[in-house]
Chain A
Amino acid sequence: MPLLSKEEKRNSIALPKINQIDSVTQRYGETAIIRGKGRSISGACLKCKNPRCMRFPEAYISCPEFEDFSYERNNNVCPVDAISWDYSKDIPRIDHEKCINCGICALMCPIGAIYSDGNKVYVSEPRNDYSILPVTASNIRLQEELFTRLMTLNWQHRFLHESQSIMSNIYKKVSKFDGRSMSANLLIRNLMIAVGHHCSISRTGDVYTRIDAVYSDGDIYDACYGAMEIEFGRDTLDASRGILDDIAVLHSRNGIDKEKNTALVACLSFPNKRQGYFQVIKDVNKVLNLKIQTVSLGALLILAWNGIEVDFSQKDFYADFDNLSIRSALNNNIKRRVELPEGFLGILEPEK
């Protein structure tokens, strides 16, 4: 007996009424502007058949360099499940109660249709500038061709300009994460994907895997990859010990050479100088010749919000007791000064 199918609720897809797209630009807090043949329109939801703002392709959440890593298969783009499909409008819907304003969904949107006013995230609906078409194989093919075109334009997403109030609000929401939930690890994984990497996190309840996450830039040649420890609590020393454990396990058991393991610690905020974390990181560099880089949630958000594909192979995000800041690395990446005061929320350096 044949299986029953889900009701066909998806009725339409959208395509912009521009024959040849020449460029896409996006400013903070706005939808993208699509230009072509002398006219321009605002980015609006294309009602993608497989919405990129909701689910990552499987390849993004797995890292070929770490084929023995047992990873979490949840491929939701939103780390807090705030985005779902609104069948009545045939576009994604944002649950503002759940949404933490991280912008990852917006950064995944191929046409820049999702934006934030600083407090809430919105999905722009297609209006007269878009053709609403039935879901047919030929229309889906047209949409796929559009995605390819948009990809080749290599345009840079912009989501939000960092500010103290925006960051404070996000940190306030994140600090309410249930310590046992996966949200923190999902958030970091998804941000790593947003800044141009493949990233896998370990499965909840897998007591045998101590490595929190692994990442890879996906390049075939001269790939940059490494282990990650994710620490949103106060015990950052556990992260420095954990990363040495990760590097050793991967080196000894999985053939990932320690010299090639560009390991990262992702934390909510930079640890206080007195906690000893940065001193240990310095010791590790001096004795083991391993530069463990440290990134905060806020730093990853800023990089993602500016559409940056981060290259960790240069070890620009290395901070230790002698240089406690990653501010210059951020400034270099986004090609302007980060507008957050020194020590603010421990995003770029320890809090004062």
Chain B
Amino acid sequence: MIRFRNPGTQYTTQIQVFRELYNEYKDAPSFSLDDMAETIARTKLMTAYGYAGDAALALSNTDNDSLNSTKMNAKMYAEVFRLLGWITSAGSGSYPLVFTYIGEHAACTDEVLPLYEQCVLGINNPQRIMDVKYDEKVRFFKAALFSLEDLGGIMYKHELCLGPMSIDDLDRSQYARMITYLQKLRGSYKRYEEAYKGLCEDLDVKPTLPDNSTRLPIAFMKTCNWIDSKRTKDLYPPKSLECICLTDHGREVAKSLHNVKDLRLDEYVTYSEAKQRALIRLGVYSMLFRAGYNTDPVKETIQNDTNECKDILAGKPLLFSPYQTLHHDEVDDALNLKRNHGSYHRNRTILPNVSRPDLVINDLNLSVTVETVSRNEDAEVERFTSYVNKLKLAGKKKREIIDRVFEECITDTQTRFYPFVATLFRVMGLDCTASRPGDNGARWDAIIVDDEESIPIEIKSPTEEQHLSLKAIRQALENKVILLSRETHPTKPETTSLAVGYYLPNDRAEVTNLMIDFKNTYGYSIGVIDLKTLLTIAITILLDGKTIDIQKLNRLEGFANATFK
């Protein structure tokens, strides 16, 4: 199966990025991935960690390229533009890059879409320009349009993987078998599931890989207005699936492709050098002509080359994209292109000194003292206490007990998890109650009630989100504002507002950033506690007879970490 990586699919951003790159490097002999990253960041066409421009560059600057989000972003666009034949390798390696003659046209026009459409049709395999080689010999988008035509104008995205991505499309019998196969698959969701599973097993890949491979092709086809989306149960009942449907324009394009000379690399190499050079010129000029360019200045060349290749063309228009098939030296040579580079001076930027906050902010500690906890026992606290004691009597160590309870909570929904979190705070001796589910009046999920410093708690159960997200932090701020405004419980501005979840956030740096932003802007502290920390504190209190320093909790800012003295 041919693969399409998962790059930026937004057309307007693609075009803007390409124009900016062209403006910056049109006079340079070549440009690198670092150059691209710098331009994309500087023109604010990407952000990193909430920052744009030089700050984004500085923040993503790391020795490990795969962690450098700006560079990875640049690589993503490089792949799209290479696929479209707008840029290509300058030499034998993947980088540095140069603009192609077609790419120059794409950069210099207001109406890019007609040329974009030609370039999408130009994507074919095999070719000599990309590192990755696939077994299938296919002009994918032509095959996809034909498949859509032959399958009633509608396909499910994974049918693209099972069908046109996995065939040699010029082999008529193979194509026909593929259509019959997909037709027979339809009517049963189970049949489809088995087929898709089989494909993944054959390729030895996770199911997400073929699925991701459909994103770019679908985006390309939507941008070209060949397809739109429709949700239907018709294809694989009883499942309702979002399918792609051929538009009128897509139908017209498909129709026009039935009557072209579709030239591929395998055939191209069989011709004489003179014919190859003529085919290159005809391929490039016919793409530009179909995209609305005035080819009068090269009319004579086209006429001569058409005569030279009349046996090959047999009166049909040529579908052949040289820059998407051959090395640019060969194409440039046939077009008699001389690359005259103007004077170009590269200015390297001195990056600002910015760093991500997780590098400088330490987790906060909750210390536990050795005084005895005093709490009002209630049924839930008693139940939890006896469960912990039972596990202890069964020979479990404290860490094992914590891990066991933690694992048991993984499937908890809001109705179980919120009261359980409140119970754990009560074990600490705090007066904590969970709000009733659906009680819109109480916006927080639980609250620690105190005579002076009540603390609202935003809780995310593991079935809502396993890792706390920015959303919980936003809600914690809202809880604080509401509590201060409505004065339902006494509190102080400096008292924390808590967010509790199963795991700490995945992107701790961005959550830290936001907590810092809230503190800087509104003056309120948000504290974040994960279930394991909460269990560690509660079970330590139960088993070791310790108490928590409430003042530390009241002033918690950032991530809590339980330590024991």
Contacts and interface: CB of A to CB of B under 8 A. Distances in A.
Interface in A283-317: 283-284, 286-288
B470 interface: yes
A71 interface: yes
A276 B440 contact: yes
Contact of A249 (B105, B335, B514): B514
B180 interface: no
B108 interface: yes
A69 B44 contact: yes
Contacts of A205: 8-10, 13
B45 interface: yes
A327 interface: no
Interface string B31-55: 0000000000000111111111101
Contacts of A204: 10, 13
B482 A283 contact: yes
B186 to A, nearest CB: 25
Contacts of A156: none
A283 B480 CA distance: 10
B304 interface: no
B295 interface: yes
Interface stretch (A24-32, A217-225, A236-244): A236-244
B293 A242 contact: no
B521 A247 contact: yes
A3 B298 CA distance: 11
Interface residues of A, number: 46
Interface stretch (A4-12, A39-47, A124-132, A333-341): A4-12
Contacts of B440: 274, 276
B521 A258 contact: yes
Interface in B102-139: 104-105, 108-109, 111
A210 interface: yes
Interface stretch (B90-98, B160-168, B471-479, B496-504): B471-479
A244 B521 CA distance: 10
Interface in A116-150: none
Interface string A149-164: 0000000000000000
Contact of A208 (B12, B48, B482): B48
A231 B109 CA distance: 35
A287 B13 CA distance: 40
Given A178-B229, A245-B474, A4 B294 contact: yes
B53 to A, nearest CB: 6
B482 A203 contact: no
B517 A71 contact: no
A39 to B, nearest CB: 37
Contacts of A3: 101, 104-105, 108
Interface string B525-548: 000000000000000000000000
Chain B contact surface mostly? helix
Contacts of A249: 50, 514, 517
Contacts of B522: 244, 248, 288
A4 B295 contact: yes
Contact of A283 (B108, B485, B513): B485
A265 to B, nearest CB: 14
Interface in B401-453: 440, 443
B51 A68 contact: yes
Interface string B332-348: 00011110000000000
Nearest to B484: A287
Nearest to B288: A4
Given A6-B293, A68-B44, A287 B481 contact: yes
B518 interface: yes
Nearest to A245: B474
A72 interface: yes
B315 interface: no
Contacts of A286: 485
B258 interface: no
B490 interface: no
B16 interface: yes
9 contacts: A3-B101, A3-B105, A7-B293, A67-B44, A71-B44, A205-B13, A253-B51, A253-B517, A282-B485
Given A68-B44, A71-B44, A210-B470, 19 more contacts: A3-B105, A4-B105, A68-B51, A68-B52, A68-B55, A72-B13, A205-B8, A208-B48, A209-B47, A237-B478, A245-B474, A245-B514, A248-B517, A253-B51, A276-B440, A280-B482, A282-B485, A283-B484, A288-B481
Interface of A: 1-8, 67-74, 178, 203-206, 208-210, 237, 240-242, 244-245, 247-249, 251-253, 258, 274, 276, 280, 282-284, 286-288
Interface of B: 8-10, 12-13, 15-16, 44-53, 55, 101, 104-105, 108-109, 111, 229, 288, 292-295, 297-298, 335-338, 440, 443, 470-471, 474-475, 477-478, 481-482, 484-486, 510, 513-514, 516-518, 520-522
